[in-house]
Chain A
C-alpha cells in the first residue's frame, strides 16, 4: 500500500511508517558497493525489467518495499522476518536465486544490510535489462531436443504385415493375428467364443447403448447364415441409436454441457444443436478428419454450411464465468487454455497445457509450442451464427433496427415527462439514509470532503426509481400521457420479429470490441469499464483482410509479463514443417489459422491424431485402450500393449477414409472381440491378471447414461424420439435447493423425459444425481476414460430410488400383459427383456418359487439390480 495523500493526513503517516523506518542509512555494509551488485546480477533477471516473478520488482526502493504477491519481503532491522533473506539463506522455500545459491559472504552482507535498516541509496543499474531480455529470449528460442522424435508416439505409424500365428482361426483377421501372437509369446490361453446370446447383447449395448428387444435378439439367434454376425453389425451401424451412443463418447472429450458453470450457471439455449451435430456426424459416418475440421474451423471451410457453423461450438464448450468478463481479461486466456488442453489431451493425446508457464517437464513440448497454438486460436470470438439464409438474417436485423429506431423517440419523450418526478422520488430516497450519508449527498459537490465524495458517489450512482414508483407518483394528466406513450411502445414492440434460430459457435474477430453478452451487464452503479467502441465492429466485414489481434509469449504464463508477439504454429516435435499455419479463406473474414491447425492435425503424416482416436474406439469396445492412458501418449503415459497393432489400425483407419463405421466393423468381426468373458485359467491369472493381452472379453459396467437408457428400454418406457432441446428429469426439491442458479425446467416424470440420456440437460453446477452415482465424470474437462467405482450408494439407488421403482413396476405391468399365461411364461419374458436370454433351469426354479409368494413387481425390481443387467459382458 502506498501513500497518495500529502503528509498532513494522519492516514498517510500511518501507512507510511514502514517506509520511513527503512530510510536510515547505516555504516558497515554499503548498499552501493555491496548490495546493489548482488541484486543487479542475481535478482533482476526475474524481478526486474522483463518480468516481475511473484509480482516482486526489485528495480526501485519503492517497489522492493512494496513486496511480492505474498506481502513485504524486506522488514528493516529484522532479517529473520524478511522473506528476501529467508529465501536466499534457505530458511524459506523455494531457495533464491533459482539458478543457484548465493555465496555465504553475499548472504551475510544482505543480512547485515537489513539489520542496519535496509537503506536503499541509489537506483539499480538498468544495464542488466539487456541481459535479462536475452535470458528471456532464450526461453522463447527453445528447440526440440535431439532424439526427442524417436519416442514411439512421435514416429509416423507404419502398417506392418500381421504376424503368423500358425492357427487358421486367428490368422484370418489382422487384429487376431497381432493379438494372438502376443498371447503365444506369453503362453496365455484364450477364452472360447461367447455364446450367440451374449454376443447379440454385447453388440447392441456396445454400438447403440441399448439392450436388444427379445425380437431383435431372436432374429439374430435364428439367423443361421454364415454372415449373420456381419449383417447384425451392419444393421446396428445403420441404427440412429449408434450416433447417440458413440456421439456421447465424443461429447465427453468435448466437455459438452448445456450451461455456463460458475456462479450464475447461465443456460446455453443453443448448445444442444452441437450435441445433435455430433450425433448426426456419427450416424452419417463423417470421416474423422472432416469431423475435426468442421469443429475447429467450420466457418473457414470452402463450403460453409449451417451444420459446420454449429460444429464450431466445440471450441466454445468451455466452462465460462459469464460475469463482467471485460473487466477480467484473464478469463479469456483461461478459455484459450481450456481449448488447448482439450485439443492436446483429446486429439493429440498430449498434455500440451502443461507448457503454459514453462517448458513441459516430461515431454519435448516447449512453452513456445503452447503460445503458437494459442496464436492459432487467438482470433476466436464467441458468436451466434444465424441458421437462416443470409437474406433472411439481413431482413431480420433490419426489422429489429427499424423497431428500435421507432421506439427511441417515444422513450425520450417518456424520460422527459418522468424527469421532474424522478428527481422528487430520488430526493425522498436520499432522505431516508443516516445523517452522515445525507450530509455527503446534499453537500454541494465542490464542498464535499474526500470521503464524502466517495459516499455521495456510491449513493447517487446506485439509487434509481422503478417505473412502478414513477407511475404511482405521476399527476393525473401526466399519467394519462405516460400510459399513452407506454401503449405506443407496446404497439411498436408487436412488430419486433421473432428471433431467428442461431448456433452457438465461434468465428474470428476482435475480442476487444465484442458487445455485451449474458452476464456482462454491469451491476447497478458499476463504474467505468471497457466499452464496446463500435458495436458490430468486432467481426471483420471481408472488405479488407482480417488481422488477428496480437498475442504474446507469456513468461510464467503471466499476462503481466509478455514477451514476443507470437506467430501461429503447432507442436514442434510432431510437426514436420509441411503444413501451412494459415490458410486464408476466400471470404477474408477469418485468418485461416484454425483451418490450418485442423489440416495439420489431420495430415497423413501426423503421428498422433489417428493413433489417439483409434485407441479411443478400442477402449470403448474392449474396456481398456491399447494405450491405457487415452489422453496421454507422452512419456508418463502408459506404453502400448500392442504397438504394431495400434500402428496397423491407425494407418488402416486413414486408408479407409477415417471412417469410424469401418473401424467398428473391423474390430467387431475379429475373434478377440467375440471371446467369452466367463472364463478363467489359473496360468492366465498369474501372468496377466489384468487381462492386458485380451485372453478374455473384459466385462464392463455400463456408463451412467447406458444404465438409465437400459432401464427405460426394458420397462417399455423409452421414447426413442431423437434430437432437439434438452429434457429435464425430475429432481428432488432438496437437490434443486443446493444449486438455485441457472435453469432446471419442470417436467413430470413421464414419457416426455423417458428419452435417452444423451438428451438430458447437462448442468455444470448440478449433475443429475443418478448419473453422478454411476460415475459421471466432471463435465468441465475433456475426459477419455471414465473411472468406475462400485459403492453402496449405487446399491441404494437401484434399490430405493423412486424412478427405478416406477420403471420396475412398469416392467412388471408390461410383462403381465405380454405374457398372460402364468408365472413360467412371465419369468421367460422377463429374462428375455432384461438379459436377452432364457433363464437356466435353476434360475427358473428359483424364480417360480419366489413368485409363488411374491409379486411380479418384486421380481422385476430384483432383476434390474443384478450385475448382468448393468454390465457389458
Chain B
C-alpha cells in the first residue's frame, strides 16, 4: 500500500482490460442490450478480470473461511431479552426497579420498572440454544447453525450514531463502512457487478441513510451500491423511455470510433484507456445486473422457501433471495436492511411503545425469509464459505417504557453469525442477570469487525488505508477476534 493514494492508483489500466473485446465487439453480441428475460447473457457469471481495477480480486492475508458476507441489519434496535437472551430474573423481579448506581441512561422519558419478556423461550437443536417464539422457523431449522453472541456492547444510544458504529466502527460520520473495507481489501470475483451491494427496506432507508454505506475517506468507488429489489436494480442502468435500443447501439458505435481516434492523439494516457474499459463494463452491467436481481426466474418452490408467496414475508423474502443470487455471482458484501424510517415507530424494530406488538410484526416479516436463506445457501453448498450476520444497532432495556415498550440500550445486544464453518448451536458471552449490560466476554463492535475480516482471511491489523498521515484501520487501534468464532 503506498503511503498516499493518488488518482492514478485507482484507474483501470490499458491492456488486459476486460477481454480486450472493445465496445464494438460487445455491440455485435446478441442479448447484451436488450437481454430477454429467462436468458442468462454470456459472461455474467464472472465477467472479465481487469487486473488493476479498484475491484480486481486481491489475495487475502491467509486462507479464508468465508469468501463473502451477507449482513442482515434489523434497523431500530432488536430486544435481546425477547429474542436470543432469555432472562428469567425479569419475571422474578417484574415491577421492581433495576438495581444500578449512578444514572440509568434512557433515551426517552424516564426509566420504568423491570419488565418480563412477553415471549416464551424454548431450547432448540442439539446445542439446546434458547430462542424465543418470535423465530420459529429459524429456531427449528437452524438453531445448530447459529453462534449467538450475547455480550455485544455499543457506544451510543442514538440510532444514527449506533448504526454508524456498526457500519464503520465509529459513531462519527465520514468513515468507511465495513463493506467498503472488504471491497477494498479483497476486490470482487465478478467485475460485472459491484463488489458491495446494499438493499434497503422498501419502506425506506435505515437510520442515518447513505452514510451507512459510505466509503468515507476512501475513493468513492468503494461505497456501497444501492440495488433496488424491483425493476432496474441500479440507477441509470438503462436509458429512460424514449431512447430506443437501436439509437443507443449506434451512439455507442460512434463513441467507440471517436474514442479510438482520441486515444491515438493522447499517447501514454492510461486514464483514457481506463474510461474505455469502464464503458465496456457498464455495458455488461446493463444486462448482468437485471439478471442478478430477477427472482422471477427462480422456481416456485424456492420463492416459497423465502416466503415470497406471502405478502407479509414477500418484501424481505425478495431481499434475501436477491442476496443469495448476488452471493452466488461473486458479490463480496451484501448488506440488507430490514426496517425503514419512513415511519420509524411501526416500520422498524424501535419498540418504544409496545415491544410485543412491534417485535411480533417484524419477526413475522423476517423469520421465514432468513430461515429460507440459510436453507437455500446450505443446499447450494454456499453456506460453508458465506458468512451470514444478523444484528441491529443496539439492544433494548430490561425495564419498561410506559409499561409495554422498551427503550434503547447499547449496553448489551445479541447478534448471531452463521455459515463459514462457524460452530453453531452455541451462545458466546453473557449479559448480566437482567440483560442490562454485557458482563462476560464483552464484545465490542471493533471485535465484531476484526472477526468478520478474520473469517474473510484478513488480519484486521494489516488491512490499512493511508489517510491523514496514518495507516487507518477498520478497527482503529482496537479489536480482538472472537476465539469461539475463529475456532474452525
Q: Are A790 and B11 in contact (CB under 8 A)?
A: yes
A775→B4 contact, CB < 8 A: no
* Residue from the set A72, A459, A862 with the largest chain B CB neighbour count within 10 Å: A862
- Residue ID in chain A nearest B226 by CB atoms: A738
Q: Is A799 an interface residue (CB 8 A)?
A: yes
User: Can you show 26 pairs from A to B with CB atoms below 8 A apart?
Assistant: A1-B437, A10-B92, A10-B93, A262-B208, A263-B208, A458-B402, A462-B110, A629-B469, A699-B269, A732-B235, A764-B211, A767-B210, A773-B220, A778-B214, A787-B5, A789-B11, A789-B220, A790-B11, A790-B12, A796-B236, A796-B282, A800-B238, A842-B261, A846-B261, A858-B250, A868-B262
What per-residue 1/0 map shows which CB atoms of A749-776 lie under 8 Å from chain B? 0000000000000001111010011011
Q: Is the CB of A525 within 8 A of B109?
A: yes
Any chain B CB within 8 A of the CB of A780? Answer: yes
Of A2, A262, A526, A789, most B-chain CB atoms within 10 Å: A789
Among B235, B236, B469, which residue has its beta carbon within 8 angstroms of that of A636? B469
Query: Is A334's CB under 8 angstroms from B172's CB?
Result: yes
Is B187 positioned at the interface, with any CB of A under 8 Å from its CB?
no
Interface residue A854 (Cβ < 8 Å from any Cβ of B): yes
A471 → chain B, closest Cβ, in Å?
26
Q: Known: A800-B237, A800-B239, A842-B261. Is A628-B112 also a contact (CB below 8 A)? A: no
**CB-CB < 8 A to B112: which residues of A?**
454-455, 458
Residues 630-661 of chain A, each 1 if its beta carbon lies under 8 Å from chain B, else 0 = 01101011100000000000000000000000
Q: A11-B99, A792-B282 are in contact. Are A351 and B470 (CB under 8 A)?
A: yes
Size of B's binding interface in residues, CB under 8 A: 112
- Once A323-B158, A624-B6, A796-B237 are accepted as A-B contacts, the answer to whether A787 and B95 lie under 8 Å apart by CB is no
Q: Could you tell me the distance between the alpha carbons of A461 and B110 in the complex, rounded to whole angstroms?
A: 9
Q: Does A690 contact B (CB under 8 A)?
A: yes
Check B27 for interface membership: any CB of A closer than 8 A.
no
Contacting residues, chain B, for A624 (C-beta < 8 A): 6
The answer to whether A636 and B109 touch across the interface, beta carbons within 8 angstroms, is no
Q: Check if B110 sits within 8 Å of A263, measured CB to CB.
A: no
Contact between chains at B274 and A778 (CB < 8 Å): no
Selecting from A403-411, A432-440, A544-552, the interface stretch reads A432-440
- Distance in Å: Cβ of A245 to nearest Cβ of chain B: 19
Tell me the interface secondary structure of chain A in the complex.
loop
A518 at the interface (CB under 8 A from B): no
Please list the 8 inter-chain residue pairs (A to B) with the smallest Cβ-Cβ separation, ordered nearest first.
Answer: A739-B209, A451-B113, A738-B205, A795-B282, A680-B268, A263-B160, A792-B282, A788-B7
CB 8 Å contact bits of B452-482 with A (1 = contact, 0 = none): 0000000000000000111000000000100
Convert A428-468 into 0s and 1s, putting 1 for each residue whose CB lies closer than 8 angstroms to a CB of B. Answer: 00000110110010000000011110110111011000000
Interface positions, chain A 289-318, Cβ under 8 Å from B, are: none
Least CB distance from B56 to A in Å reads 12
Within 8 A of B (CB), among A836-854: 840, 842-843, 846, 850, 853-854
For the complex, is B96 an interface residue (Cβ under 8 Å from A)?
Answer: yes
8 Å CB contact of A739 from B110, B210, B254: B210
Residues in A neighbouring B274, C-beta threshold 8 A: 790
Dominant SS at the B interface? loop
Interface membership of A188, Cβ < 8 A = no
Query: Contact partner of B265 among A524, A678, A739, CB < 8 A?
Result: A678
Give bound CA distance, A799 to B236, whole Å. 8
Give the interface segment out of B124-132, B291-299, B438-446.
Answer: B438-446
A685 touches B268 (CB 8 A): yes
Query: Which residue of chain A has the shortest Cβ distance to B54 in the bound complex?
Result: A789
Question: What is the minimal beta-carbon distance from A476 to any residue of chain B, in angstroms?
Answer: 35
Complex Cα distance, B266 from A795, in Å, reads 20
CB atoms of A780 and B174 under 8 A apart: yes
Shortest distance from the beta carbon of A20 to any chain B beta carbon, whole Å: 14
The answer to whether B211 touches A796, judged by C-beta atoms less than 8 angstroms apart, is no
In the bound complex, residues from chain B placing their C-beta under 8 Å from that of A4 are: 99-101
Q: Within 8 Å CB of B225, what residues of A?
A: 793
Known: A458-B109, A792-B278, A796-B234. A866 touches B255 (CB 8 A): yes
Are A678 and B266 in contact, CB atoms less than 8 angstroms apart?
yes
CB <8 Å contact, A526 and B109: yes
- Residue of A765, A769, A867 touching B235 (CB-CB under 8 A): A769
Q: Bound complex: CA of A690 vs CA of B268, how far in Å?
A: 11
How far in angstroms is the closest Cβ of chain B from A541? 35
Whether B403 lies near A436 (C-beta < 8 A) is yes
What residues on A are CB-neighbors of B238 within 8 Å?
Answer: 800
Asked whether A233 is an interface residue with its Cβ less than 8 Å from the other chain, the reply is no
The chain B residue with its CB closest to the CB of A629 is: B4
Enumerate chain A residues within 8 angstroms of B400, measured Cβ to Cβ: 455, 458
Cβ of B373 within 8 Å of any chain A Cβ, yes or no, is no
Specify which chain B residues have a CB less than 8 angstroms from the CB of A3 in the assembled complex.
99
CB of B108 within 8 A of CB of A867, answer no
Whether B240 and A93, one on each chain, are in contact in the complex, defined by CB atoms closer than 8 angstroms, is no
Query: Once bound together, how far apart are the Cα atoms of A780 and B225, in whole Å?
Result: 20
Q: Please give the distance in Å from B158's CB to the nearest CB on chain A.
A: 6
Scan B251-267; emit 1 where CB is below 8 A from any A CB, else 0: 10011011101100111
| Residues of the A chain whose Cβ atoms lie less than 8 Å from the Cβ of B257 | 846
Query: Chain A contacts of B96 at CB under 8 A?
Result: 9, 11, 449-451
* Contact in complex: B282, A772 (CB < 8 Å): no
